Structure 1
Amino acid sequence: AAFLISAFARLLTRPEPEQRRDNQPRALVIAPTRELALQIHRDAEALGRHAGLRLGLVYGGVDYDKQRRQLARRIDLLIGTPGRLIDYNKQGALDLRGIEVAVLDEADRMFDLGFIRDIRFLFRRMPKPERRQSMLFSATLSYRVLELAYEHMNNPELVKIEAERVTADKVEQTLYYPSNSEKIPLLIGLLRRERPKRAIVFTNTKRNAEEVLAWLRGNDIRAEILSGDVPQKKRQRLLGQFEQGEFDVLIATDVAARGLHIPDVTHVFNYDLPQDAEDYVHRIGRTARAGASGQAFSFACEDTAFYLPDIEAYIGQKIPHEGVSPELLVEPKPRARIEHHRGPRPGGRSGRSGGKGGDRSRGRAQEGRRRRRGNGSRRRGAASGKQAGG
């Protein structure tokens, strides 16, 4: 709402340029993932229901020509992912020279996913910073993010919100030290004991996610998997079914779950401890939202226990631990057979058929994540660029 209300206010209080072309949106919101773009679009529809502004949404993995046609309908506010925006711009279907408001959401994730060159490409095709309002939002303000702000914004002002605690106060955290062979029995035992209304199980790899899915389904637990190569329409359907309670457990990797906003998650399970301490905070932050309470269970197993010191140093506390009791180690039934999907990579850039590539190569993502550690202060904030004259 912070940037949507500001963008709406600007568009509604200033006249539309007389020479504006049909393919020139007045405001642009750039999001790193499809799911975040969809969420922003839903919020924009709700907040701007009576504003009379035309909204647009473009991202990879869905009908290319259908999205292209909407760009010729004088969209006021366009929301999109970097790759698809660049595709349309290069083909002449999207003209950014009329942008009055530019918003970059989750700027730190743009670096993580290797999109920063795409972002610079888009900014350089907009009017100069002094001729537009610019807003940049980021969970962490590293030197790279600040450099981007000063490069493409007009005398930006820094707005910071310092959190008293890194993790949510109402998340009850519990740590277990299982052996690798005990992880599945322990997970099933905890799920049976807790009977969560809505739970997310995080793994570090898609292979582990598929392994967990097979065991949970074999033990009569309604579960689905959210991995990076699930087609976009199926992803949206799965998320809708999860929110409607058609299944109880969503298994996901960090990359696949980025940008998701799922309400009423009661439990989070770190089947694998994350390699990055910030990912631990993002994971358990999926629960205990909007004043609710939540549970977070983490497994420090033989393969991931050495990530624990960095995590506890980052959150500034020791995670309470419990012993792996025999009562929790259930005897699981045989695993189910699951179909292994091999589809296109996720992201905003794809061919007309939706079957090519993603929003740039994921190869740069890992490099960006390695460089991020220790790169600047860990503050939540937003930078807002002022237009000349106020």
Structure 2
Amino acid sequence: EYIEVEPEQKTGHRIKEELFYPSNEEKMRLLQTLIEEEWPDRAIIFANTKHRCEEIWGHLAADGHRVGLLTGDVAQKKRLRILDEFTRGDLDILVATDVAARGLHIPAVTHVFNYDLPDDCEDYVHRIGRTGRAGASGHSISLACEEYALNLPAIETYIGHSIPVSKYNPDALMTDLPKPLRLTRPRTGNGPRRTGAPRNRRRSG
């Protein structure tokens, strides 16, 4: 007689998962619009490459967010300093690659954004597992763009469920965005201090 074993729950019960299908052209504006809508207390944005992380950092820093950058180019000592600033609340957002974030204890994360869907299914679980810890609820938002949407079926098979899909109105995306900052020298990623209130943009549907 066989005993049926319940499949292991790979993603936390307290984590709300959400998926959007943006075009490559609208992807950055969708991210910035969602950040304005959600106004997260502490968020981590994951991207698949160092270059993409630097690009995201530049857009968010230019828009006034307090954002730190964690990539392989950032020395371990500086990573720990950025983490300390994030923990103290001096930074609201971290932009990170999987490798740079691995092994770092990052407490009290309210939101995880998968700007790129990861190539490795386990990385998806590790990423969203950064939120919803210690009995708290968390929110994971993934962007399945034209470049990385092909990774989605394997991820959903691995976690054992489909990620709920949300729609957005392209006409409601933010357009009044400043020119992104560029990294001209090694830096830890402190952007301008985030001030003011959310712009109260609303998604459709």
Q: TM-score, normalised by structure 2?
A: 0.84
One-letter code aligned to 2:43: A
1:240 aligns to 2:84 (yes or no): yes
Structure 1 stretches of 4+ with a deviation exceeding 6 A read none
One-letter code aligned to 2:90: E
In structure 2, the partner of 1:174 is 18
In structure 2, the partner of 1:331 is 175
RMSD: 1.7
The Cα offsets for residues 116-135 of structure 1, whole Å up to 9 and x where unpaired, read as: xxxxxxxxxxxxxxxxxxxx
In structure 1, the partner of 2:166 is 322
Q: Secondary structure, in 3 states, of the residue corresponding to 2:25? A: helix
Partner residue of 2:40 out of 171, 187, 196? 196
In structure 1, the partner of 2:104 is 260
One-letter code aligned to 2:13: D
Q: Secondary structure, in 3 states, of the residue corresponding to 2:26? A: helix
**Structure number with higher helix proportion:** 1
In structure 2, the partner of 1:186 is 30
In structure 2, the partner of 1:286 is 130
In structure 1, the partner of 2:113 is 269
Structure 1 residue 164: deviation in Å?
A: 3.7
Q: Which runs of 5+ in 1 are unaligned?
A: 1-161, 344-390
Identity %: 53
Structure 1 residue 181: deviation in Å?
A: 1.0
More displaced stretch, 171-180 vs 232-241: 232-241
Alignment of 1:99-138 (within 5 A): none
Q: CA separation of 1:187/1:245 partners in 2, compared to 1, >3 Å: closer, same or farther? A: same
One-letter code aligned to 2:130: R
Q: Provide the C-alpha distance between the structure 2 equivalents of 1:336 and 1:311, rounded to a whole number of angstroms.
A: 31
Q: CA separation of 1:342/1:245 partners in 2, compared to 1, >3 Å: closer, same or farther? A: closer
Pick 1 or 2: higher relative contact order, CA cutoff 8 A, min separation 6. Answer: 2
CA contact (8 A) 1:185 1:332 kept: no
One-letter code aligned to 1:314: Y
Q: Which runs of 5+ in 2 are unaligned?
A: 1-5, 188-205
Larger Rg: 1
Q: Provide the C-alpha distance between the structure 1 equivalents of 2:8 and 2:172, rounded to a whole number of angstroms.
A: 35
Alignment of 1:67-86 (within 5 A): none
Q: CA separation of 1:237/1:230 partners in 2, compared to 1, >3 Å: closer, same or farther? A: same
1:229 aligns to 2:102 (yes or no): no
Structure 1 residue 232: deviation in Å?
A: 2.3
Structure 1 residue 163: deviation in Å?
A: 7.4
The Cα offsets for residues 327-358 of structure 1, whole Å up to 9 and x where unpaired, read as: 65111422332324569xxxxxxxxxxxxxxx
One-letter code aligned to 2:141: F
One-letter code aligned to 2:88: Q
Q: Secondary structure, in 3 states, of the residue corresponding to 2:69? A: strand
Q: Provide the C-alpha distance between the structure 1 equivalents of 2:119 and 2:111, rounded to a whole number of angstroms.
A: 20
Q: Provide the C-alpha distance between the structure 2 equivalents of 1:278 and 1:261, rounded to a whole number of angstroms.
A: 18
CA contact (8 A) 2:109 2:132 kept: yes
One-letter code aligned to 1:221: H
